[in-house]
């Protein structure tokens, strides 16, 4: 390679660098002055917000979404056979001829449809002859679970279910021998009857 060729190549490189430099400057200028050109310009923005539906299911004013226990005062008010206040039995105890009731008020205060079910458990080791009804006394059973076997019922958002009244009764004219056996047993170890209600509410999901 002679000296002329070397010079020619060197010049070409310089020209290329110059062109790239000019292009770069041009681009920078375009960016800087672009805002000054008049043209149609539209801008828009949009946003969407979704709120989570609340979940509130009240059982007698207790929100079971936040509390896993509810008051179930089935035996708090003990009445005489005729429905008047029981005066022949020591307060808080049951005996033949006593009865009572308790009402569950369920409200779906949620913003979603819900379904609920109530399961009752009766613990009655000494077979105290108490019978129960949840239909106003039309049907009676010794095992609450027989009547309301956990049937799920739906409840629209914000709706309340019809009050559920659980009635119990120990017949005055029943089995005297059995009643006496229980009364005598109570001298030493008082037989007890415990009724538990488990209320489960869940968001209704279309099948």
Partner 1 sequence: MKKNENKTSKFICIVLLLCIIAMILVAGTYAKYVSKATGSATATVAKWDVYYNDQQLTYDNSNVNFTLFADDELLYPGKTGTFNFKLQNKSEVAATYGIDFEVNGTENLPIEFSLTGVDGSWTADLSDATGTLPAGQTAATTVTGYWRWNPTNGDEADTLLGVEAANATKNVEVSATLIVEQAQ
**Contact set with partner 1 (CB under 8 A):** 55, 57, 59, 62, 64-65, 67-76, 78, 80-81, 87-90, 92-97, 102, 110, 112, 114, 126, 128, 130, 172, 176-177, 179-187, 190-203, 205
Q: How far is the CB of 136 from partner 1 (least distance, A)?
A: 20
Instruction: Output the CA torsion 183→184→190→195 (10° steps).
Output: -40
Q: Which of 103, 48, 50 is nearest to 74 (CA)?
A: 103
Q: How far is the CB of 182 from partner 1 (least distance, A)?
A: 5
Q: How far is the CB of 38 from partner 1 (least distance, A)?
A: 52
Task: Name the residue nearer to partner 1 (CB basis): 11 or 198.
Answer: 198
Residue 137 — left, alpha, or beta (φ > 0 → left; ψ -120 to 50 → alpha)?
left
Task: Name the residue nearer to partner 1 (CB basis): 42 or 66.
Answer: 66
Q: Which of 182, 155, 194, 175 is nearest to 64 (CA)?
A: 155
Task: Name the residue nearer to partner 1 (CB basis): 80 or 147.
Answer: 80
**157 in Cβ contact with 113 (< 8 Å):** yes
Q: How far is the CB of 50 from partner 1 (least distance, A)?
A: 16
Task: Name the residue nearer to partner 1 (CB basis): 130 or 134.
Answer: 130
CA distances from 33 to 15, 23, 40 (A): 27, 15, 16
């Amino acid at each position: 390679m002679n000296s002329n060729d070397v010079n020619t190549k060197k010049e070409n490189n310089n020209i290329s660098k110059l062109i790239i430099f000019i292009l770069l400057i041009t681009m920078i200028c375009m960016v800087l002055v672009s805002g000054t050109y008049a043209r149609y310009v539209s801008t828009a923005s949009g946003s969407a917000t979704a709120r989570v539906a609340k979940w509130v299911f009240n059982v007698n004013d207790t929100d079971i979404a936040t509390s896993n226990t509810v008051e179930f005062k089935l035996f708090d008010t003990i009445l005489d056979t005729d429905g008047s206040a029981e005066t022949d039995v020591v307060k808080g105890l049951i005996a033949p001829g006593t009865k009572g009731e308790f009402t569950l008020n369920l409200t779906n205060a949620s913003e979603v449809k819900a379904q609920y079910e109530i399961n009752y458990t009766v613990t009655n080791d000494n077979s105290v002859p108490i019978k129960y009804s949840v239909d106003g006394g039309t049907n009676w059973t010794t095992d609450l679970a027989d009547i309301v076997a956990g049937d799920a019922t739906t409840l629209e958002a914000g709706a309340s279910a019809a009050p559920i009244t659980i009635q119990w009764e120990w017949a005055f004219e029943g089995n005297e021998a059995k009643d006496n056996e229980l009364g005598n047993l109570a001298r030493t170890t008082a037989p007890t009857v415990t009724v538990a209600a488990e209320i489960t509410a869940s968001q209704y999901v279309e099948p």
